[in-house]
Amino acid sequence: MATVARQSLKIGLIPADGIGKEVIPAAKHAIEALGSDIPKPEFYNLLAGFELFARTGEALPNETVEILKNECDAALFGAVSSPSRKVSGYTSPIVSLRKTLDLYANIRPVATVDAGPDGKPKVDMVVVRENTECLYVKQENIISTENGLEARATRLITERASRRIGKMAFELALARPRKQVTIIHKSNVLSVTDGLFRETVRAVPSLPEVAGRYDNVTIAEQIVDSAVYRLFREPEIYDVIVAPNLYGDILSDAAAALVGSLGLVPSINAGDNFVMGEPVHGSAPDIEGKGIANPLAAIRSAALMLRHLGYYTGADRIDNAVNQVIREGQVLTPDLGGKSSTDEVVQTVLKKI
């Protein structure tokens, strides 16, 4: 997304559930610390989440959606405590926002801060996850048969969604040194749905509107179960990974283990006209309110959001500050082996910004 000249940068803040209420303010403070490197930020405090649903019967108020659509340039989303059981009337607000705002790409960079013996990062990949379909269309039903209950789910893969997530992956690869896209699929079993995804993404460089643009990008592919194995055995083989929704969700969370904690991994939900930062971690109800939540993924998500908007200098300042804190290892939350509080980490990052 190209930089747009703005008098101010209007950002929706949606802490939602659990530790989202602790880490989104941290990201806000990091943005405010950038000063003149970005337009003056204006923030809108917005409601969503399962906790809101439990109180009001509404997980994503229309007011939140309308403000995001009509007032905001971008947004930051915290975490949601969606239950593992079916709750009548409830739909995850993050899933709804992705669909409503057409945020079709979930982009999750995963990289180690410390370099390996050759001076190169041990892990440096981006997982590009299609964000709007696959099993996450949530078309499920259950029926009673003579053999007991039978549950079925519809899996949706379309050429349109596969093509545009493929183009997003190729664009990201084009800007990276290695320029490689690995397509993740299971078309040896799911030959129709995964077959369509695989074939459509592979065909992206041949589209008339991008003729020759991706000639320097190498295409690889992996069966999803093999991809998980190789992710842990030899993560250095991956550069940009592109995957359908479910596989991308699993792979990106697994990749977070390679860098020490989900509390370090940022993401953005991106479309053609809007971007929403979102730390990869969940709502972590077990540590909510204890002041030990890791704010770094949320702060990194703010940087990723700014970078997508074209504010590279500000994004670099945030990323460099976070990387310094990690390298020094003196002020870290318990998930990274430290003893510091959320606020202590935030204040250290702000000083370095």
Q: Which residues are catalytic?
A: 136, 186, 225, 249, 253
Please state, in angstroms and rounded to a whole number, the distance separating the CA atoms of residues 161 and 98. 13
- Looking at residue 110, what DSSP letter applies? E
Distance CA 177, CA 188 (A): 31
The b-or-e profile of 10-42 (16+ CB within 10 A means b, else e) is: bbbbbbbbbbbbbbbbbbbbbbebbeebbbebe
Query: Which residue type sits at 125?
Result: M
Q: How far apart are CA 247 and CA 224, in angstroms?
A: 7
Quickly tell me which residue has 């690889």 as its tokens: 220
CA 18, 19, 20, 24 torsion-angle sign: positive
The DSSP symbol for 330 reads S
Question: Two tokens at 211?
Answer: 């003729």
CA atoms of 238 and 125, how far apart (whole Å): 6
CB 68 within 8 A of CB 80: no
**Three-state helix/strand/coil letters over 246-291:** HHHHHHHHHHHHHHCCHHHCCCEEECCCCEEECCCCCCCCCCCCCC
Contact 197/245 with Cβ under 8 angstroms? no
Long-range contacts of range 152-160, CB-CB < 8 Å, 24 or more positions apart?
155/190, 155/193, 157/133, 157/193, 157/194, 157/196, 157/197, 157/244, 158/133, 158/196, 159/196, 159/200
- Bridge partners (DSSP) of residue 242 are 128, 183
